[in-house]
Amino acid sequence: MPKEKKHQDNCADNENTKFDYKVEKRILQFVNNARSPSQLIDGPEKPSSVHAEHRERGHPDAHEIRDSHLLSAKLLDFRDATNLIEIRNKRSPVYGFLTLKDLLVVRNLDRFIDYLSIHLSKTTMGEWTGPYPIPAAMDRPVHAALLRNGDVLFYGGLPTGIKTYRYTPDSEGSIGSFTDAPGDPGESLFCAGQAFLSDGKLLVAGGGGDGTGPRHNHAWIFDPDGDSWTQTGDLNAFRWYPTLVNLGDQPGRIFVSSGQDSGGSEVPQPEMYIENTGGFVPVWGPGGEGDTSANHSFPQTYPGMQVLPGGEVFYSPTGWHSGGCTGAADYPAALPSGYYEIQASSPPVKATWHDIPAVDDIAESTLARVKGMSVLLLQPTYPFVQAMVVGGGADPESASTYQMINLSTLSPKWGPPLPLPDGLSRVNVNLVALPDSTVFMSGGRPVSGVPANAGPCWIYNPELMSWSEMDAVANMRGYHSIAILLPDARVLTAGNQCPADRTIEIFTPPYLFSDDGSLAPRPMIDSAPDLVHHGREFEIEIANPETISTVVLVRPMAVTHQTDSEQKVIHLEKNISGPNTITAVAPNGWHPHSLAQQGWYMLFLIDTAGVPSHAHFVHLH
């Protein structure tokens, strides 16, 4: 945590203090919005923790997450806090202090200002840079996937759904570069589904429509090495807004669910893409061919699907329901939550659907989260597997809340809706799993404030069950926006439909900053293999291996419409095996490889200060 600076006793010194404009704005907002001396005395609101599994409705077990520097003496005494409010109101009962210089001349605020300058700085709240323009011909990003060389592939975007661009991230604080990929698919991939294959190529299936070309049942594969698209086998049904999930079988198989056909009707029967044949086959019930009991309705389309370590395909009732810029909506037809159990992955492919209940009727009623997003959380300690859904659904009953389910139990149930930390609704919200196993939430809010921004972002810590406020994203990021983790552990966000946005922004999380606001020194991977095998040991060369606390593999994202079946953070066993060597154990040494599907991953090392390395891409085989 940030250390407190030495305080200056001379107000004249403080008058010359200069802060980043974002920090200055936050300090002024905090002071001007305080309604009572006690709010100033306590300082900015601390993260709160809610123990969802032990929570009775209406009585959350919430407490402050306190650190040693927060337990010290109060920032102000009551007399100085009262005096500050009186001076503020005399300056302007409506606007208060207009500049930080006006505030700094008030006496006895040295420690108070120093604390706020740290607590409200990028050291604790991270920092967005941008917005940066994208190529004019690229129009609005709709789909994005992180390739195994670290580039981001943008595809399926408006107005044609055909153009393909690669974005190459640059060093921290720089925009990077865009390249018009030389090869494009032969038809629109707008509103298709996508998932990575075991060799790191990207499968994109279905899509089209909405003026970009007809809806279709075709599938295409993007090869990062050749910058080229190749058509593969056809889907058994036209699918617009489907979800694809990599199962981890060998040879690789992709589970395809939902989507609308060419007439706009929902497709209830799932199907399977089999890598070694390049074709799609129907998924039947346990009785085999002709048994349609595996059919299941996901009428909202783009259902939130993730593969669990046991091989089940889990469904969180997020999704889409309707295009355009409409807001949140109650959509109980998306219920119930549940999972597919795959009995046979070779033709005839067989699967059984199982419902999953919620803890009570209220939890059930808020679970249909149209235009929300789900993410799978894996931890090395109990609860080992959880799913989290945020925003979407009815406004405000669901859109301003989140829900969790512990999938480590034999009979999992969805927990109650819990309020988002700022109490604001999130529609088309983006979630990104960070290398330190926290979850970054951005977007889903309209533009507001002076100067205008699209609302604060937050990081959720599943270990502490707490939220921490982050820097506000500048531009609105909602319908047709994406957010994706970069190999340097930053987050890129792009796009928005209403209003049309042709920019990107890049977020640097707090874990990349030192206490003084400079970029923190990062652990550096000197050498690591490009190929590792499930369940086998492999060596990582690094200076000072004793400084490394965590080794993780992060599955690259492939996201559209707040739907991503790929992202997960997997903790690896590790030990120091030499003066410059860490030995780690690749995950999941048995078939099928559902915990960690065969494919490409980002290998991150995280040091004892919580700072992640740049990623090294490895092929898990």
Decide: 223 and 231 in contact? Cβ < 8 Å.
no
As a whole number of angstroms, the distance between CA 312 and CA 308 comes to 5
What the block records as the tokens of 529 is 């293999």
Task: Indicate the residue among 58, 93, 120 that finishes a domain.
Answer: 120
The one-character DSSP state at 89 is H
In the prediction, which pLDDT does 557 show?
98
Do 603 and 473 share a structural domain? no
Whether residue 520 lies inside any domain: the answer is no
CB atoms within 10 A of CB 521: 10
Q: How many helices, marked H, and strands, marked E, lie in the chain?
A: 8, 41
pLDDT means per 10 residues in the chain (621 residues)?
36 53 90 92 69 39 39 73 94 91 88 88 94 88 95 93 93 79 91 96 95 95 94 97 92 94 94 96 97 96 95 94 80 94 92 96 93 95 95 92 95 96 94 98 90 92 93 95 97 94 95 93 97 97 97 98 95 96 93 92 97 98 92
Whether residue 451 lies inside any domain: the answer is yes
Strand partners, 539: 583
Task: Say which amino acid occupies 74.
Answer: K
Residue 584 contacts by C-beta under 8 Å, 6 or more apart in sequence? Answer: 537, 538, 539, 540, 551, 572, 573, 574
What the block records as the tokens of 219 is 């599938």
Do 105 and 143 share a structural domain? no
Bond from prior residue into 587 cis (ω within 30 degrees of 0): no
The CA-to-CA distance between both ends of the chain, in Å, stands at 38
Whether residue 395 lies inside any domain: the answer is yes
Do 535 and 506 share a structural domain? no
Whether residue 6 lies inside any domain: the answer is no
Mind giving me the DSSP string for 144-160?
Answer: EEE-TTSPEEEES-TTT
As a whole number of angstroms, the distance between CA 498 and CA 516 comes to 38
Q: What is the largest CA-CA distance in the chain?
A: 83
Whether residue 256 lies inside any domain: the answer is yes
As a whole number of angstroms, the distance between CA 281 and CA 273 comes to 7
Task: Say which amino acid occupies 225.
Answer: D
Do 576 and 480 share a structural domain? no
Task: Indicate the residue among 120, 148, 173 that finishes a domain.
Answer: 120
Strand partners, 219: 205
Decide: 387 and 375 in contact? Cβ < 8 Å.
yes
Do 84 and 216 share a structural domain? no
Residue 162: CATH number of its domain:
2.130.10.80
As a whole number of angstroms, the distance between CA 569 and CA 434 comes to 8
Q: Three-state DSSP class for 255?
A: strand
Decide: 391 and 369 in contact? Cβ < 8 Å.
yes
In our burial notation (b when 16+ CB lie closer than 10 A, e otherwise), range 271-295 reads bbbbbeeebbbbbbbeeeeeeeebe
For residue 323, the enclosing domain spans 127-512
Mind giving me the DSSP string for 508-526?
Answer: E-GGGB-TTSSBPP-----
As a whole number of angstroms, the distance between CA 361 and CA 395 comes to 17
Q: Three-state DSSP class for 440?
A: strand
What the block records as the tokens of 511 is 């874990």
Decide: 360 and 415 in contact? Cβ < 8 Å.
no
Task: Indicate the residue among 65, 96, 120 that finishes a domain.
Answer: 120
Do 159 and 82 share a structural domain? no
Decide: 264 and 286 in contact? Cβ < 8 Å.
no
Whether residue 4 lies inside any domain: the answer is no
CB atoms within 10 A of CB 244: 26
Do 374 and 320 share a structural domain? yes
Do 183 and 251 share a structural domain? yes
- pTM of the prediction? 0.92
Phi, psi of 305 (to 5 degrees): -125, 135
Do 174 and 55 share a structural domain? no
Residue 577: CATH number of its domain:
2.60.40.10
Do 276 and 209 share a structural domain? yes
Number of C-alpha atoms within 13 angstroms, CB side, residue 262? 10
* Cα-based distances in Å from 386 to 293, 316, 321, 418, 561: 27, 11, 25, 15, 22
Phi, psi of 61 (to 5 degrees): -85, 85
Domain count, the chain: 3
In the prediction, which pLDDT does 590 show?
80
Q: Three-state DSSP class for 85?
A: helix
Q: Three-state DSSP class for 328?
A: coil
Whether residue 596 lies inside any domain: the answer is yes
Dihedral of alpha carbons 441, 461, 557, 417, sign: negative
∠ CA 598-604-605, nearest 5°, is: 135
Q: Which of 78, 141, 131, 64 is nearest to 108 (CA)?
A: 78
Q: Which of 186, 187, 188, 220 is nearest to 204 (CA)?
A: 220
As a whole number of angstroms, the distance between CA 241 and CA 480 comes to 13
Do 370 and 268 share a structural domain? yes
For the chain, what percentages of helix, strand and coil (3-state, to nearest 5) are there?
15, 35, 55
Do 221 and 93 share a structural domain? no
As a whole number of angstroms, the distance between CA 258 and CA 192 comes to 11
Whether residue 519 lies inside any domain: the answer is no
